[in-house]
C-alpha cells in the first residue's frame, strides 16, 4: 500500500525551517541546502514544493502570516481580559520580542521591499496581510472604546495610528535601532502607554465637537 504523504504538513515543516533560519541569521542566510538540512528533507523533496529560493521565502511568508493569525486568535479567545488589555496583548504579539515574532518581523520587512519592487508577484500577499492586520487592530480598538463608553467613530483612525506605531517600532528593532529601551533589552516596550494615548484620541475628538 503506497505511503500517504501529508503535503500540508510537509510544507509547514519546510516553512518552519526557513523561519528558524530567518530568526537566527536573517533572510539573507536562507538557501535551499540549509533549509533541507534544517527541515530534514532532501533538496529533491524541497524542489517538489518550491521552484527556488524566492518560492521558499514566499512559502515561509504565507506560513508565518497563518501562524501570526493563530497567535492573535488565541489572544482574542482568552477569557477574563478587559478589551483594552486584549488590544495591548494583540499589539505586543506583533513586536519582535521572541523567535517567532523576530522571524515574522524580518520576513515581513523583506517582503515590504520585495512587494514594492515586484507588486505583480508579491503585492497581493502583502496587501492581504496588511488588510487583515489593520482590520484586526481596528476591531479591538472599537471594542476597547465601546467598553469605556467612548465614541467609536474614530476607531479606524486610531487603529491605523497604532498599526503605524507598532510596525514602525518593529522595523527599527529588526534593524537594530531600538527606540524604546535605549539599548537595554530588559526594558519592555510601553505598549500599554501607546494604547492609552491612542484611545484618548477618541475622547479628545468628542470634546472638540
Largest CA distance in the chain: 73
- Given a contact cutoff of 8 angstroms between Cβ atoms, the answer to whether 72 and 93 are in contact is yes
Q: Indicate the Cα dihedral angle 43, 46, 51, 54, nearest 10°.
A: -100
Residue that is written with C-alpha cell 515574532 in the block? 101
Fold of 7-208: Tetracycline Repressor; domain 2 (1.10.357)
Task: Provide the residue ranges of all domains of the chain, joining segments of one domain with +.
Answer: 7-208
Positions of the chain with pLDDT under 50: none
Amino acid 162: pLDDT: 98
Residue that is written with C-alpha cell 523533496 in the block? 45
Amino acid 75: pLDDT: 94
Amino acid 34: pLDDT: 94
Amino acid 121: pLDDT: 65
Amino acid 205: pLDDT: 59
Q: Indicate the Cα dihedral angle 42, 39, 34, 178, nearest 10°.
A: 160
Q: What does the chain look like in DSSP terms, one character per residue? A: -PPPP-HHHHHHHHHHHHHHHHHHH-GGG--HHHHHHHHT--HHHHHHH-SSHHHHHHHHHHHHHHHHHHHHHHHHT-SS--HHHHHHHHHHTTSS-SHHHHHHHHHHHHHHHHHHH-HHHHHHHHHHHHHHHHHHHHHHHHHHHHHTT---TTHHHHHHHHHHHHHHHHHHHHTT--SSSTT-TTSPP-HHHHHHHHHHHHHHHHHH-
Amino acid 106: pLDDT: 87
pLDDT tens digits for 180-201? 777 677 778 899 999 999 999 9
Amino acid at each position: 500500500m503506497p505511503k500517504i504523504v501529508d503535503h500540508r504538513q510537509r510544507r509547514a515543516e519546510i516553512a518552519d525551517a526557513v523561519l528558524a533560519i530567518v530568526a537566527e541569521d536573517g533572510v539573507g542566510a536562507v538557501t535551499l541546502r540549509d533549509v533541507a538540512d534544517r527541515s530534514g528533507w532532501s533538496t529533491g523533496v524541497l524542489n517538489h514544493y518550491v521552484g527556488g529560493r524566492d518560492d521558499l521565502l514566499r512559502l515561509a511568508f504565507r506560513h508565518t502570516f497563518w501562524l501570526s493569525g493563530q497567535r492573535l486568535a488565541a489572544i482574542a479567545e482568552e477569557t477574563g481580559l478587559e478589551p483594552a488589555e486584549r488590544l495591548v496583548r494583540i499589539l505586543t504579539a506583533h513586536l519582535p520580542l521572541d523567535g517567532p515574532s523576530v522571524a515574522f518581523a524580518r520576513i515581513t520587512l523583506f517582503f515590504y521591499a520585495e512587494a514594492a519592487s515586484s507588486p505583480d508577484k508579491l503585492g497581493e500577499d502583502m496587501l492581504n496581510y496588511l488588510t487583515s492586520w489593520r482590520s484586526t487592530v481596528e476591531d479591538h480598538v472599537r471594542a476597547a472604546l465601546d467598553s469605556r463608553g467612548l465614541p467609536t467613530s474614530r476607531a479606524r483612525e486610531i487603529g491605523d495610528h497604532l498599526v503605524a506605531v507598532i510596525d514602525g517600532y518593529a522595523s527599527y528593532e529588526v534593524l537594530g535601532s531600538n527606540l524604546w529601551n535605549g539599548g537595554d533589552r530588559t526594558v519592555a516596550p510601553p505598549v500599554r502607554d501607546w494604547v492609552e494615548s491612542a484611545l484618548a484620541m477618541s475622547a479628545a475628538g468628542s470634546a472638540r465637537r
